[in-house]
Amino acid sequence: MALWGSRFEKDSDPLFRKFNDSLPYDWRLVQEDIEGSIAWAQALEKADVLSAAERRQIESALTEIATLAAETPQSAGDSSLEDVHTWVEAQLIERLGDVGKKLHTGRSRNDQVATDLRLWTRRALSDRQREIHDVQDALLGLAARHECAVLPGYTHLQHAQPILFSHWCLAYFEMLQRDRDRFADADRRTACCPLGSGALAGTAYPIDREALARALRFDRPTSNSLDAVSDRDFVVETLSTSALCGIHLSRLAEDLIFYAGSEVGFVELDDSTTTGSSMMPQKKNPDALELVRGKTGRLFGSLTALCVTLKGLPLSYNKDLQEDKAPLFDAMDTLSMCLKIVTLVLDRLRICEDVSKKAAAQGYTNATDLADYLVAKDVPFREAHDQVGQLVRIAIERDESLEELPMSVLTRIAPKIEKDAHVQLTVDASLNKRNTLGGTAPAQVSQAMKVAHRRLARNRDRLSAAAVTVRWELPGSLLC
Ligand code: ARG
């Protein structure tokens, strides 16, 4: 019989039960549910609802159940119970009888599931930060292995100006740093403990909610019971940050797919992260990166699904909220895989430095430098832009680069050009000139790399401090 069965004359229809039951997927909250239950038993003891002996019995039975759940996860699969909370309670009652039946005093599955989900989300937030850290580390490693590699920088997918390959790596480092910061920030609002909010109106027992929050390593208890049991904005924040992170990863993937393309060839992906074709023997396809690009759509789907579920939902708890878990779990699994795969691809990526350097000099990427040269000779920039534009047109007609144009042609259009112009038109000169903060000059990039390494070290310190906060221990260390 269901926990609530005695009020009903008839059993639930099997089809409805299948529709209603969440155990097949909320099983993933089992450890969090047990941690919350142990903390609740302690709070009940302090409130004189349980004796010390009863609390100890409950705690040790819950510890046993945690072991069972970790070692034989199929035990829940065989069960026909409604959800993970029901499963844990049924296990407890099976072991302790009447004492087990006391645990749910003053508690509702509504504050219980909100607590479990916040505990689970906090772990996921810190795991994603760790995985982002690994991608950032891989980007810095790749940049360091190819310190002198040059790429044509693009705007509108047209050759624009030469850039250092390491500058490209640092661009993604920055995006991921913001994602990491957003995950850390989301944790600040997730770190509130709903337990003690009851079904919706608060609990009727004298629970010390501050102590309960501390016991579960939350920063503070939630402040309003209606809000606590019915809001899921911490999940929305987690999903929106994941979607943004997916956007960044999909752009990185797209860049590398393009760089590895047959007409381009700036990079070569390792065999271990590519696939072949069942028909065309010569193919080496960037499937890993294409899947990263493609799976970003699922992250948006999860975010949209939850936003639509929450929109217009009346206070307080409604069963619609059970639909929060599938998108959260799917998004976390998807993003985790994408981050790990990107790390793997970057760790094994080879840059074809000769090809990319050659390309960096093509497509008149030094046209701005010639205009800047004229500016230094006192030609107003608009005028210089105009003269170089004409020279580019002539060079295209003659199928030559700007530096290949004869002096007579150059001076006919731009009279201030002298012989010294040529040294300013090389790729190296172009790079070296962009030596202001955030620019691609080797001196700037090497400074930026140092700053990035320092930030990564700071992130690492924060992550290990957070691990102490978030990863508490079950009695007997049962976390799996
Ligand atoms: N499985 C439910 C959920 O995920 C647990 C809460 C059930 N509460 C209730 N009043 N039916 O939301």
> What are phi and psi for residue 410, nearest 5 degrees?
-60, -50
pLDDT at residue 371, rounded to an integer: 95
- Choosing from 19, 112, 113, 230 the residue with most ligand 1 atoms within 8 A of its CB, the one to mutate for a pocket test is 113
Whole-number Å distance, alpha carbon 26 to ligand 1 midpoint, is: 10
Q: Which H or E run includes 308?
A: helix 287-310
Name which residue sits closest to atom 12 of ligand 1, judged by CA: 322
| Structural contact between residues 151 and 266, judged by C-beta atoms closer than 8 angstroms | yes
Spans in the chain with pLDDT lower than 70: 1, 77-78, 467-480
* pLDDT at res. 9: 81
pLDDT of 469 reads 53
Strands (E), 219-331: 220-221, 267-268
The pairs formed by 153-161 with CB atoms below 8 angstroms and a separation of 24 or more are: 153/365, 153/440, 158/363, 159/359, 159/362, 159/363, 159/364, 159/365, 160/365, 161/365, 161/368, 161/430, 161/434, 161/440
Find the largest Cα–Cα distance for the chain. 102
Is residue 51 annotated as part of the catalytic site, yes or no? Answer: no
Number of neighbouring beta carbons within 10 Å of residue 274: 17
Q: How far is the CA of 119 from the centre of ligand 1 (A)?
A: 16
What 3-state class would DSSP assign to 372?
Answer: helix
Ligand 1 atom at minimum distance from 325 CA: 4
Reference 167, options 453, 354, 446; nearest CA is 446
Is residue 242 within 8 Å of 259, Cβ to Cβ? no
- The verdict on whether 277 is a catalytic residue reads yes
- Domains, the chain, ordered by start: 8-105 (1.10.275.10), 110-198+219-358 (1.20.200.10), 367-425 (1.10.40.30)
Report the candidate in 25, 1, 34, 18 with the shortest Cα–Cα distance to residue 478: 34
Interacting residues of 376 by C-beta distance below 8 A, sequence separation 6+: none
Q: Which residues of 245-267 are buried (b: 16+ CB within 10 A; e: fewer)?
A: bbebbbebbebbbbbbeeeeebb
Confidence at residue 479, expressed as pLDDT on a 0 to 100 scale: 36
Distance CA 191, CA 214 (A): 10
Query: Do 350 and 165 form a contact (C-beta atoms < 8 A)?
Result: no
How many Cβ atoms are within 10 Å of 11's Cβ, its own excluded? 11
d(CA 462, CA 459): 5
Q: Which atom of ligand 1 is nearest to the CA of 82?
A: 1
The residue type found at 370 is: L
Strands 192-193, 267-268: pairing kind: unpaired
**For the CA of 84, the nearest atom of ligand 1:** 1
Cα-Cα end-to-end distance for the chain: 30
Specify whether the CB–CB gap between 84 and 167 falls below 8 A: no
**Atom 3, ligand 1: which residue's CA is nearest?**
322
* CA of residue 67 to ligand 1 center, whole Å: 24
Phi, psi of 150 (to 5 degrees): -125, 145
Q: For residue 399, how many other CB atoms are within 10 A of its CB?
A: 7
* pLDDT for position 472: 45
Mutate which of 16, 27, 109 to test ligand 1's pocket (most atoms within 8 Å of Cβ)? Answer: 109
pLDDT for the residue 476: 43
* Count of positions (residues) in the chain: 480
Centre of ligand 1 to C-alpha 303, Å, is 21
Contacts of 215 (CB under 8 A, 6+ apart): 39, 42, 43
**In 3D, which of 170, 167, 139 has the Cα closest to residue 153?**
167
Tokens of 109: 């599955």
For residue 43 the two structure tokens come to 């709070």
CB-CB contact of 415 with 374 (8 Å) = no
pLDDT of residue 73: 79
Residue 319 exposure: Cα atoms within 13 Å on the Cβ side: 6
> What tokens does 192 get?
């509130």
Residue with tokens 């050659």: 358
Distance, CA 229 to ligand 1 centroid (Å)?
Answer: 10
Q: Which residues contact 409 (CB under 8 A, 6 or more apart)?
A: 391, 394
Q: Could you say which of 6, 156, 262, 408 is catalytic?
A: 156
**Distance from the CA of 319 to the center of ligand 1, in angstroms?**
6
pLDDT computed for residue 478 by the predictor: 37
How far are the Cα atoms of 358, 381, 430 from residue 161, in angstroms, in the given order? 13, 18, 8
Predicted pLDDT of residue 291? 98
Q: Dump the DSSP string for 106-125.
A: T--HHHHHHHHHHHHHHHHH
d(CA 258, CA 62): 53
pLDDT tens digits, 312-343: 999 999 999 999 999 999 999 999 999 999 99
Amino acid at the residue 339: L
Question: Which residues contact ligand 1 via a Cβ below 6 A?
Answer: 22, 26, 83, 109-110, 113, 317, 319, 321-322
